[in-house]
Structure 1
Amino acid sequence: MAGRCITLFMWGYQVSYRIHIRSLVHEVLKHLGAPAEAEVLLVGARKPTSTSPNPVCVEPEDGKWPLALFDNLLDSVESTYKDHDLQSMFYSDDASMHDKPEWMRRDSVRTSVRNALKVFDTEHDVTSLCGEVRRIDEYYVTTVIQIPNSTFSQFPPLPDRPVDGRRQGYGYRSLIHAALFAVLHEATKELQNPDPGRFTHGSVRSAQEVIRVGARNFLHTPGLSIGRNYFYNDLFDALNLVASLMYEGTKSVGNLILVNPESECVEFLARFSEPVPLHEPRWVRKVLQMASTGMGIVADSRHIYGLGKLKDSHDAYAAQDAFTATFLDHYHWELRCGDQVLIRSHYGVPKLPQEPFEKVAFLANYARLFPRASPKDGLHLWSLLLFQMSQQHGSMVVVAEDALSEASRLGKQGTRIEPTRLTESLLRSFSCIDGTILLAPDGVCHAVGIILDGEATDQCTPSRGSRYNSGIRYVQTSEARRLAIVVSDDRTVDIIPRIRRLVSRSKIEQHVTSLEGATLDNYHDSRNWLNDHRFYVNAEQCVRVNRSLDRLDSMPREVGLLYIRTDRFVVDPEMDESYLTD
């Protein structure tokens, strides 16, 4: 077997290490609900006493990040080290004084690498996040995550704030930042192990665990922002616990306003004589019950001070001095700064704020499923979907091209009505009773409270309720075109058949072309992306992808190289050009 020669060699498992961290980054982004589009690279700066021939090493060494980016890296490291803030710092213990030079060098490498990547970031419209530096043999190594700025356009972070000498800072700017720095923390821990990247299974936390760590870290941001003296607490777990508690059979619904209680932006309606400790969840839940529409409970990072609200004239987002935790339903809450939602948590699972479905994808799928419906009909159904999701109880709406005849056939299992265009007010009334609301594609309602029929399919599952399974049976066993919108009691929303996102035609072609020129060292990125987007690959591209996979399968591999064969691509019969953009 042919072995792989690493020209920019730092250690023997640098390739598998990078691939493993990159896979973790993608899993984290997917679980958060963000596009899984990010790159990972390693940069190694030669230690001062080394005789290694390469001053700087980059992994991967395929030219995507040319060495020219780091031509002056070692000089920058030495200059940063010489002027480092810790140079004049004296510690009272000998161990810290002994470790101080190493701390300064690690930080100098990280700062210099971050500065060296600024030009690349600007030219490629990405943001580079650098992990802590560790020394491996002859090199000081940092792990770098690069994420497209388009991700931050889709999920805007809080504006940057000047730290002004504050040691604690103001916290992470977004859940994405917090989660990716949690990944970098795992990457740094792995660098401290012998032969990092050799044993990847179980060596770092799972994506779900990393996200929870990131969410906990991000929830320090309100406390750090609203006062100069912040006492660290686990606000993420505290909010989850309060959201999970019932009060005399009622769910947690209301606002908790995180703000400096002495701030002029707060208008108290009732102030407690003695503050309520925020770490007493049952007490907090009891107080939350008093918060009605238009007011909330006013708290900082430690106590609740009373009932009140923010003044209408105050711009909390611009000032970043007030945050609102809104309890939406049982075990369901979100954190806002002004009108911007920063994080949502449902049953303890943190997510980025977003609609369950993309509007453009919904309208495209609706037009494809019901070609006789007008664009206005699709927009009308979209608005009804949003209203249906906002209600505090479960419901189901079925759109069927044979709605008129189905209303007649199922009339004994519900209530037929004169054809009436469904409005939000009617939807509110009709969804108060059991059964399904039956519509035609133009939004005209023909029956309410309908009990659906249909035979069980492979997609029915005992893990979901009767509403979901009846929607599956009714839609999938019919030759007529139908669509079901199912909102379960736990606020889970499903559209049957499922809505597929639109995908860029040029991006598919880009990854197909990349795979055609790939080697065993760099095939992973394109192969993984195409594997996740099989539905969108056309017949001609399937042939090219399969030819590339055959070529990779036949390549000689060094002993011990992990290589996973890929199932061959076939055209999905439901795929057509309407799923593609540009």
Structure 2
Amino acid sequence: MWDSQKSLFRVSAQLFAEGIFNLLDRNLRPEVFLLGLASAKEPNEPAAVVIEPPTHRYRPSQFQEVKNRASQLEPEGPREVVYHLHPTDHDRFEKMRWYNLLRRATEATIADLEAASPTEARVSFCSQPVSVSNYQILVVLQMSAEAYHSHYALPAAPNGRAGSLLQATVQEFLHDCLRALRESDLDEDRPILDRDYNELLRAAGRRFMLAVGNGNHGLYDACNGIAALRHEGDEGVGLMALSRRHHPAVRPVLLLETPIALRDHRSMRKLLELSEENVALMSDAANLFGLGEVVALDDPNYEPLFMVHFTKHYSWDLSHAGEVMMRVVSNTPRLPRSRVDERNFERAIRRNWPDMDAAGVEYLWSLALSATSQPTGTILLISDGAAQEARRLATQCYRVTPTRITPAMVRLVTNIDGAVLIDPQGTCFGIGAILDGLATAKGDSSRGSRFNSAVRYVETSRYPCLAIVVSEDGWIDLLPPLGK
């Protein structure tokens, strides 16, 4: 398989990764490559280490010491004695232990290579090895570190459970790759990585909720079941706090003598009517045991909690410490709407207008935040030539009397299609502008016309400018991007 199908598998895995992770965040830009370590060759022998694709920026020679590095990860001193009932269990246990050391050594090697690289920072994830045709094959997934770390996640858990929907999706993706590698080696006619993208994301949602519910299975499906029900014709809207019993951050208001299992969706849906604002149903992820008031942030007993917010029919959000971690609509999870990071916005402003004072940056930030709340999408264009561009685009925009715009005004003028033209001082010169520009190789055929027209404009503009693009599907981009 390694000789005849490695390229096919790698391409299939790359397309699979793009299809899945683009549904979560297009800025992740996933990249997949395969690393093969020969089972019976010395590290310096020809073909002892192979990489697919061969043109990858990493070279086989950079991974020659992976096996030695794995050996050095062995703990010193006597190892824990494990007793196995079946004769082959010990060999299988030892093989999996060695495979885990190889994975850790590969991840450490890639981390060293990335640290020394002058290119964009990438975060890497490595699968367990699979033995195929005398090679231990590892699937490596890399993505933009900036985009990956922009999403809120729980601290790393010692049991390896996912701390976010994104981490759970990575784990599901690598698990599917391993399964496909094993099956492809046994059956050449079997389709490679043909799982539906949304099906994988639902599996990732269930996996993530295991960490949220301390290992309790069924929490994800229970929330979907509750959200799917109506009570007396009304949509399910309310709060549920996930915590241990007698949690200091939840003051009991009403306790049930007999807890209700979360699988009793109809009872859960009916009692959801009791919740409001900071008063939520109290659950330990297995049973509902009452109604409680969540204390305020400034309360000495405050501790971050998981909250499930049922927003409407078939829809619910999971949040922790005020951060929405997962948004589920019609049983399909997504990451929350991408937001512009204030530090990145300030960096983008300073790149074009290095002399702008802090008050000016803060004012433009308030305008950008207002624009990003537009549900139907918009473009806020900050340009030194806003006045001249409003005159040039007079036939394809509505020119206005120069007015210093406010966040409330931004919400109003972005209700129509087109860009809002302002200068760095916040003076508005035009609304509803249809941006033009020459075609550029930096466009993205997977994005809509709003994004691509903004790309063309900023790439060919004669004036320093920054475009905040809010797409209708919720993604937010700063153009030109900071990595340019």
* Global fold match (TM > 0.5): yes
Counterpart for residue 210 of structure 1:
200
Report the alpha carbon displacement of residue 297 of structure 1 after superposing the two structures with TM.
0.2
Counterpart for residue 142 of structure 2:
146
Give yes or no for the alignment of 1:304 onto 2:282: no
CA deviations over 1:130-181 (Å, ceiling 9, x no partner): 11211011211110111111112432322335x3xxxx45x31221111121
Q: Is the 8 A contact 1:109 1:140 kept in 2?
A: no
CA deviations over 1:239-268 (Å, ceiling 9, x no partner): 111111100111111110000112222211
| Structure 2 counterpart SS, 1:91 | coil
Counterpart for residue 532 of structure 1:
446
Unaligned runs of 5+ in 1: 1-8, 225-229, 387-396, 402-440, 444-480, 484-496, 512-528, 539-570
Q: Does the C-alpha gap of structure 1 residues 311 and 82 become closer, same or farther in structure 2, counting only changes over 3 Å?
A: closer
Counterpart for residue 380 of structure 1:
408
CA deviations over 1:506-525 (Å, ceiling 9, x no partner): xx76x7xxxxxxxxxxxxxx
Q: Distance in 1 between matches of 2:280 and 2:127?
A: 39
Q: Is the 8 A contact 1:12 1:195 kept in 2?
A: no
Of 248, 268, 286, which residue of structure 2 is paired with 1:284? 268
Q: Is the 8 A contact 1:398 1:482 kept in 2?
A: yes
Q: Does the C-alpha gap of structure 1 residues 64 and 574 become closer, same or farther in structure 2, counting only changes over 3 Å?
A: closer
Of 120, 132, 139, which residue of structure 2 is paired with 1:136? 132
Matches within 5 A, 1:411-426: none
Counterpart for residue 565 of structure 1:
none
Matches within 5 A, 1:150-161: 150-161=146-157
Q: Distance in 1 between matches of 2:22 and 2:285?
A: 30
Give yes or no for the alignment of 1:271 onto 2:263: no
Q: Is the 8 A contact 1:252 1:329 kept in 2?
A: yes
Q: Distance in 2 between matches of 1:118 and 1:143?
A: 15
Give yes or no for the alignment of 1:326 onto 2:309: yes
Q: Distance in 1 between matches of 2:49 and 2:458?
A: 50
Q: Distance in 1 between matches of 2:182 and 2:210?
A: 27
What is the aligned residue count? 406
Q: Distance in 2 between matches of 1:176 and 1:122?
A: 23
Report the alpha carbon displacement of residue 203 of structure 1 after superposing the two structures with TM.
4.2
- Which amino acid letter does the alignment assign opposite residue 131 of structure 2? R
| Structure 2 counterpart SS, 1:308 | strand
CA deviations over 1:385-417 (Å, ceiling 9, x no partner): 99xxxxxxxxxx66799xxxxxxxxxxxxxxxx
Unaligned runs of 5+ in 2: 341-367, 391-395, 420-427, 468-478
Of 162, 170, 180, which residue of structure 2 is paired with 1:180? 170
RMSD of aligned C-alpha atoms?
4.2
- Which amino acid letter does the alignment assign opposite residue 37 of structure 1? R
CA deviations over 1:475-502 (Å, ceiling 9, x no partner): xxxxxx969xxxxxxxxxxxxx9x99x9
Q: Does the C-alpha gap of structure 1 residues 195 and 537 become closer, same or farther in structure 2, counting only changes over 3 Å?
A: farther
Q: Does the C-alpha gap of structure 1 residues 84 and 319 become closer, same or farther in structure 2, counting only changes over 3 Å?
A: farther
Q: Distance in 2 between matches of 1:375 and 1:354?
A: 30
Matches within 5 A, 1:456-495: none
Q: Distance in 2 between matches of 1:385 and 1:181?
A: 43
CA deviations over 1:92-123 (Å, ceiling 9, x no partner): 22232242232222222212111111212334
Report the alpha carbon displacement of residue 238 of structure 1 after superposing the two structures with TM.
1.2
Counterpart for residue 61 of structure 1:
54
Counterpart for residue 337 of structure 1:
320
Q: Does the C-alpha gap of structure 1 residues 109 and 237 become closer, same or farther in structure 2, counting only changes over 3 Å?
A: same
- Which amino acid letter does the alignment assign opposite residue 95 of structure 1? T
Of 356, 360, 364, which residue of structure 1 is paired with 2:380? 364
Counterpart for residue 17 of structure 2:
25
Of 66, 69, 76, which residue of structure 2 is paired with 1:73? 66
Counterpart for residue 87 of structure 2:
94
Report the alpha carbon displacement of residue 234 of structure 1 after superposing the two structures with TM.
2.1
Q: Distance in 1 between matches of 2:111 and 2:456?
A: 42
Percent of aligned pairs with the same amino acid: 18
Q: Does the C-alpha gap of structure 1 residues 101 and 252 become closer, same or farther in structure 2, counting only changes over 3 Å?
A: same
CA deviations over 1:301-341 (Å, ceiling 9, x no partner): 2111111122224799x965x20000111111100001110
Q: Give the greater-gyration-radius structure (CA).
A: 1
- Which amino acid letter does the alignment assign opposite residue 27 of structure 1? G
